[in-house]
Amino acid sequence: MNLKVKIGDKIELENPLMPASGPLVGDSEKILALASQGLGALVTKTISSKAAPVPHPCIVGGKDYIINAELWSEFPPEKWEAEFLPEIEKADLNRPLIISLGYQRDEIVALIKRVEQFATAFELSTHYVGTDLKPIAQTVKAASEATDKPVFIKLSPHINDPAEFAQMVKDNGGYGIVAINSVGPTYPVDLTRGKSPLGSKDGYGWISGPVIKPISLSRIRMITQSVDIPVIGVGGIKSAEDVLEFIAAGASAVQMLSAAMLYGKDLYSRILNDLPKVMEKHGYHDLAAVKGLLKNTSSEINFETGYPVIDHDTCTLCKICVRNCPYYALSIEDKRVVLDESKCFKCGLCESRCSVNAIEGVL
């Protein structure tokens, strides 16, 4: 299997998987530990002009999400410049290093000059800049003029028009988009303590992980259908199947972080081990054949479809479809799932919820 991918015309990776900016890439020791899993590229935690005043506790995990109140790197840029980045360079990892920087124009330009020698590319976070594209455009332009290395801009989900954002980035010299950042603000509740478990002001945080995957996929597709610009997909990946979905939606490569915090830091190597098998399962031998597969799919609304068909030999009688059906069209009779077509709305929920693929014909 050929796992190599290109991000535009300047960056080539041995495989499409890299970490996203966050706790698991917060210093050189952590980054080198992840590098040992064979990732295609590496990313740093966001470095700003001063160390972040991180509140504690700052991370809450649920079944399929992380809520964090972290901000940016808890280390000052001097620590990265003098210690962490030289240690990564000394390890001679032979793969791209994307340095994440934030947040305002002048501090980003100053930071680029300080750490440029260590970077293959830069990722700029606009998380705290707001939704007005004018100051973001000025930042993109200034950063792109400050370095010959590729500059990616991370899309915050509160940006109303992702395609307009991407066009702005391209028009101002940006190389690509990283989509998306964590979503929020969100508010976790601890009933025992009677408050949020986060130590941030007012208890608010930002949510990431598998729960936001549909949002991420939608933003990637909106961008790649409208603007010819490389996109690194992030937000919701937890499996090799997810990697293929993001690439099919138009991403050139992907980042993952929250799922590794939820399901184990070795998830990166597990995904890379699974990826060739999943590609073979779907009939692909090259990721280039997967990229943008969904870009030109029909946007017509489908009003007519068939009723669900149940494979009784495959069905395990778990009853999930019966319990989930909002139209009471499914029931159990004589140890078989039975469909009442007079009640069935052909909504597709039963097929999407069947864990053994015993229902088909709707989706």
Domains of the chain with CATH codes: 5-289 (3.20.20.70), 309-360 (3.30.70.20)
Element of type H or E holding 332? strand 330-333
Q: Is the pLDDT of residue 316 over 90?
A: yes
Q: How many CB atoms lie within 10 A of CB 141?
A: 18
Q: Give the residue-averaged pLDDT of 81-93.
A: 98
Please name the amino acid found at residue 234. Answer: V
Between 303 and 165, whose confidence is greater?
165
> Residues 327, 347: contact at Cβ < 8 Å?
yes
Q: Is the pLDDT of residue 129 over 90?
A: no
Q: Is the pLDDT of residue 159 over 70?
A: yes
Q: How many CA atoms lie within 13 A of 144 on its CB side?
A: 18
Q: Give the residue-averaged pLDDT of 347-351.
A: 96
> Residues 218, 183: contact at Cβ < 8 Å?
no
Between 178 and 160, whose confidence is greater?
178
Q: Give the residue-averaged pLDDT of 218-229.
A: 96
Q: Give the residue-averaged pLDDT of 344-349.
A: 96
Per-residue model confidence (pLDDT) at position 126: 80
Per-residue model confidence (pLDDT) at position 303: 78
Element of type H or E holding 21? none
Q: How many CB atoms lie within 10 A of CB 329?
A: 21
Per the listing, tokens 């610009």 go with 229
Element of type H or E holding 136? helix 133-146
Per-residue model confidence (pLDDT) at position 294: 84
Q: How many CA atoms lie within 13 A of 110 on its CB side?
A: 12
Q: Give the residue-averaged pLDDT of 217-239.
A: 97
Q: Give the residue-averaged pLDDT of 171-185.
A: 97
Q: How many CB atoms lie within 10 A of CB 347?
A: 16
Q: Give the residue-averaged pLDDT of 172-183.
A: 97
Band (302; pLDDT cuts 50, 70, 90): confident
- Please give the model's pTM, rounded to 2 decimal places: 0.95
Band (127; pLDDT cuts 50, 70, 90): confident
Radius of gyration, alpha carbons of the chain:
22
Query: C-alpha distances in angstroms, 247 versus 12, 71, 228?
Result: 15, 28, 15
Distance in angstroms (rounded) separating the CA atoms of residues 336 and 326: 19
Based on DSSP, count helices (H) and strands (E) in the chain, helices before strands. 12, 18
> Which residues touch 320 (CB under 8 Å, ≥6 apart)?
353, 354, 355
Distance in angstroms (rounded) separating the CA atoms of residues 302 and 253: 31
Element of type H or E holding 246? helix 240-249
Band (301; pLDDT cuts 50, 70, 90): confident
> Residues 361, 309: contact at Cβ < 8 Å?
yes
Per-residue model confidence (pLDDT) at position 304: 80
Average pLDDT for the chain: 95
Q: Is the pLDDT of residue 27 over 90?
A: yes
3-state secondary structure of 185: strand
Per the listing, tokens 């949510």 go with 207
CA dihedral 234, 238, 242, 247 (to 10 degrees): 30
Share of the chain above pLDDT 70, in %: 99
Band (299; pLDDT cuts 50, 70, 90): low
Q: Give the residue-averaged pLDDT of 170-176.
A: 98
Per-residue model confidence (pLDDT) at position 298: 67
Q: Is the pLDDT of residue 363 over 80?
A: no
Q: Give the residue-averaged pLDDT of 54-72.
A: 96
